[in-house]
Amino acid sequence: MKAKHFSIPYVGWMAIFVVTPIILVFVYAFTTSAGYFTLQNFAEMGRFIPVFTRSFRLAFIATIICILLGYPIAYILAREGQRLQRLFIMLILLPLWINFLLRTYAWMSILENTGLINRFLEFFWMSILENIWPVMWPVNRFFDFPAAPAVRIINTPTAVVIGMVYNFLPFMILPIYSVIVKIDKSVLEAAQDLGANSFSVFRKLIIPLSLPGILSGVTMVFVPAVSAFVITQLLGGGMVFLLGDLIEMQFLGTAYNPHLGSAIAIVMMLIVVFFVVIMNKFGAGEEKAVKL
């Protein structure tokens, strides 16, 4: 049996569950409910520009936060011993073993007005005032005991970004870690022998060499963040409307219009592909500069 025959199940799976749905999306996007060719579905994109802008802005913010959090974690993890690496990788992957919906529900109880964050702030506030307020006699004789400040996080864009960062952070850490851990230590030692300090080695060698991992992480975080809709529905409470919600509404909501939903999905996909291509070209240029 030839080796190419082993790829037949995979090719068949991809054709049925990946290629065919994409073809159907394109067919729906360029046709009317009667089956006639039209571009009207794309002509209606103008009224959804605020949704596109909001979706890409929040996805961009979440991606930047994931980079700022994920890169130091991946870098420190790659410098540890094998036993600690395996332990921390397991801890990073552990939340992924729990259902996505349950993890997001858990953040609802944390971020709500009577959740853990506001309870902690209330406890912290009361602890301070119980010690300070009695001794502030010139002030407290004229004012009542101030109430603890409540922070409104749930049903805001901040809650949506927090949900995105929590759910997608492992997809930023692991690609960066997998690249950094493979960097030849002799290259770093040679740079130090030639007089480069730790900061120069990190800036001129480690960051450029780890750029493929960063780009992979950006892709794995940015793409699902743009199209997220469960996070916005649970943590945004319907107050933060993004592309995922818009597309879902066209297919499953009261405004049932799969043709318009398909057109929105195609436009979103093309924009994401454009950004990914630009990032890959930038990454290729950086890698070439490092080799030179």
Print pLDDT tens along the chain (292 aa): 566 677 788 888 888 888 999 999 999 999 998 889 999 999 988 889 999 999 999 999 999 999 999 999 999 999 888 889 999 999 999 888 888 888 998 898 888 877 787 777 777 766 655 565 555 445 444 455 555 556 778 888 999 999 999 999 999 999 999 999 998 888 888 888 778 888 888 888 899 889 889 999 999 999 999 988 889 989 988 788 899 999 988 988 777 899 999 999 999 989 888 888 887 776 655 555 455 4
The answer to whether residue 211 sits within a structural domain is: yes
pLDDT digits (tens, 9 = 90+) for 183-225: 888 888 888 877 888 888 888 889 988 988 999 999 999 999 9
Q: What is the pLDDT of residue 150?
A: 63
Greatest pairwise CA separation for the chain in angstroms: 92
State residue 132's pLDDT score.
58
The pTM of this model reads 0.84
**Integer angstrom CA distances of residue 220 from 61, 133, 168:** 14, 50, 8
Q: What angle do CA 245, 247, 248 make, to 5 degrees?
A: 65
Does residue 199 lie in a domain region? yes
Q: Which residues partner with 37 through β-bridges?
A: 31
- Predicted pLDDT of residue 23: 93
**Residue 233 lies inside a defined structural domain of this protein:** yes
Task: Give pLDDT, residue 129.
Answer: 56
Tell whether 122 is covered by a domain: no
CB-CB neighbours of 242 under 10 Å:
27
Task: Identify any residues that bridge with 31 across adjacent strands, giving them in sequence order.
Answer: 37
Geometric angle at alpha carbon 210, from 78 and 60, rounded to 5°: 105
| CATH classification at residue 180 | 1.10.3720.10
In the block, residue with structure tokens 């994109």? 45
- When divided into structural domains, the chain yields a total of 1
| DSSP annotation of 97 | G
Distance CA 115, CA 105 (A): 12
Residue 92 sits in which domain range? 48-113+152-291
153 residue type, one letter: I
264 exposure class (CB count in 10 Å sphere: 0-12, 13-18, 19+)? buried
Residues 173 and 278: their CA atoms lie apart, in Å, by 22
- Domain presence at residue 11: no
Would 141 be classed as within a structural domain?
Answer: no
Distance CA 206, CA 75 (A): 9
Tokens of 271: 């924009």
Q: Would 252 be classed as within a structural domain?
A: yes
User: How far is the CA of 142 from the CAs of 24, 134, 137, 138, 172, in angstroms?
Assistant: 71, 13, 9, 8, 53
